[in-house]
Structure 1
């Protein structure tokens, strides 16, 4: 399955790029660079609140009709804007957004990793999680291991130990998250798992149609992460990992 994105804001000022012309330009650039004439899933990378959704949905559907895209979706869009896009599509007889990519992990971020990024984590996003569950929209959860927070490279007591520790301390280094890490370690020891497998299973066992997106530097690490697919965590365990209560 080939997935690509388009309409990332212009750098370094992050000026909005979410027009029909931007869609076409970036899609054709992806096709050219990837050496293909077809993309299975094409995601709009970032939203902008002033952008008109209808012409963008229409342009994406034109490219579906041309056979250049099979399905469309959004990355770092709020569920409200996705719902709006799909309402427009339904009213026009067009293909809706069929997937979304947002951040989600056992650790809740303290602030956005990038301007405009969207997360499903935390109590404040409960309505978003309920919306995804109710509508069955697939979620590609990026940074599902919280930028290395659940790896051996992060040591809460040594925030300056290395690049991973500094990054994790900045974006995830709260006491609540550190306690989640400790509970994941406890569960991993009890069940002969790795901490990363427990953290990934937490994401995969949510009542959502969710796929955990990870980056692996070695085949061994990839195989370790795949092992999380065979794990089943019940509701009580999920609640305990997140809150420390109810196990």
Structure 2
């Protein structure tokens, strides 16, 4: 088990991404994935109030609703649920009033009395940061949120948030959620990790498998012509340099008898301050590889090899 920053939340070192629930996984498939995840020892689920508002016919909040129905049906013990605010079509931005209303709506959908980990999803520079920090602090004070976190914030804004929280005596963030993986490293390692180390924040990286590229599924530079959303997301990585990363992952994966995906997640877990990479599964068959990635320990030499081969970032990544 791994502690999330300075919080009292101890979790297996993998967060199950809820972005596919209500999108590429319907209610029954989502229930099956959640069951398999918890049965395999998983206990950390990540979602957002906006998932999956981009799907025609959806309003936003579908993922939270599915998770809430699953929680009510299964009544699992010790499952930590993280959700986010700022992107729901009805609750955009981070004004104090909006944060409160959005949190209350998330609690209703989740069927919960308290949100374990509540993220500011994207920075909102139209609202004074003092107002947002105060709103999150009040949610903790009122018992609606256990711990505060930030997602997609710059290092400067994370530092500013923490300084405001400390000055005003409200709850400070315990976690940060950046875009971070073997083929998207530079900004996080140069700016976010140093701040996380300074303030003892736990990193919970999203896009841990680079839209599926780091599963090894896309082994050709021709994936750009494929129609699926994941293939399009993976296309920018499928260059000669990117495929060398896959080759190195495959070499290490074969030595351990695990998948490329599990090895990719294990590399992330080996990075400073990383608590639990986020990875999603549309089907039960995909869950074991994710759980294996939460338990695989790479040697120093294996981490070093992956560090060297991934010292590259594709244009626009």
Show CA shifts across 1:222-245 (max 9, x none): 122211222222443223113239
1:193 aligned residue: 258
Q: 1:7–1:17: 8 Å Cα contact kept in structure 2? A: yes
Q: Structure 1 pair 48/187, CA: closer, same or farther in 2 (3 Å)?
A: same
Number of the residue aligned with 2:231: 165
For the aligned residue pairs, the C-alpha RMSD in angstroms reads 2.3
Residues 18-167 of structure 1: pairs in structure 2 closer than 5 A? 18-108=94-184, 121-122=185-186, 125-159=189-223, 160-163=225-228, 164-167=230-233
Change (3 A) 1:138 1:189: same
- Cα distance 1:48–1:175, how it changes in 2: closer, same or farther (>3 A)? farther
Q: CA contact under 8 A between 1:40 and 1:69: conserved in structure 2?
A: yes
Cα 1:16/1:5, change in 2 over 3 Å: closer
Structure 1: 4+ residue segments shifted above 6 A: none
Return the alpha-carbon distance in structure 2 between the equivalents of residues 166 and 6 of structure 1: 27
Of 74, 84, 97, 1:5 maps to: 84
Offset, 1:64: 1.3
Question: How many matched pairs?
Answer: 229
For residue 65 of structure 1, report the CA deviation from its aligned partner. 1.5
Of the three residues 177, 194, 202, the one matched with 2:242 is 177
1:230 is paired with a residue of what secondary structure? Answer: coil
Distance in 2 (CA, whole Å) between partners of 1:216 and 1:141 is 16
**Higher mean Cα deviation, 140-149 or 155-164?**
155-164
**If the length of structure 1 is used for normalisation, what is the TM-score?**
0.83
Task: Mark the runs of 5 or more structure 2 residues left unpaired by the alignment.
Answer: 1-79, 311-317
Question: Aligned in 2, Cα 1:105/1:8: closer, same or farther, shift over 3 Å?
Answer: same
| Structure with more relative contact order (C-alpha pairs < 8 Å, separation 6 or more) | 2
- 1:57 CA drift (Å): 1.1
| Match among 291, 298, 302 for residue 237 of structure 1 | 302
Structure 1 residues without counterparts, runs of 5 or longer: 109-120
Matched, 1:208 2:273: yes
Q: 8 Å contact 1:7–1:45 — kept in the other structure?
A: yes
Contact 1:155 1:165 in 2 (8 A): no
Query: C-alpha offsets along residues 78-119 of structure 1, whole Å, 9 cap, x if unaligned?
Result: 1221111111111111110111111111122xxxxxxxxxxx
Would the alpha carbon gap of residues 200 and 96 (structure 1) be closer, same or farther in structure 2, given more than 3 Å must change?
A: same
State which drifts further: 223-232 or 53-62. Answer: 223-232
| Pair 198,227 (structure 1): closer, same or farther in 2 beyond 3 Å | same
Output the CA distance in 2 between the equivalents of 1:65 and 1:176: 49
Change (3 A) 1:49 1:206: same
Post-superposition shift, 1:9?
7.0
**Counterpart of 1:208 in 2: which secondary structure?**
coil
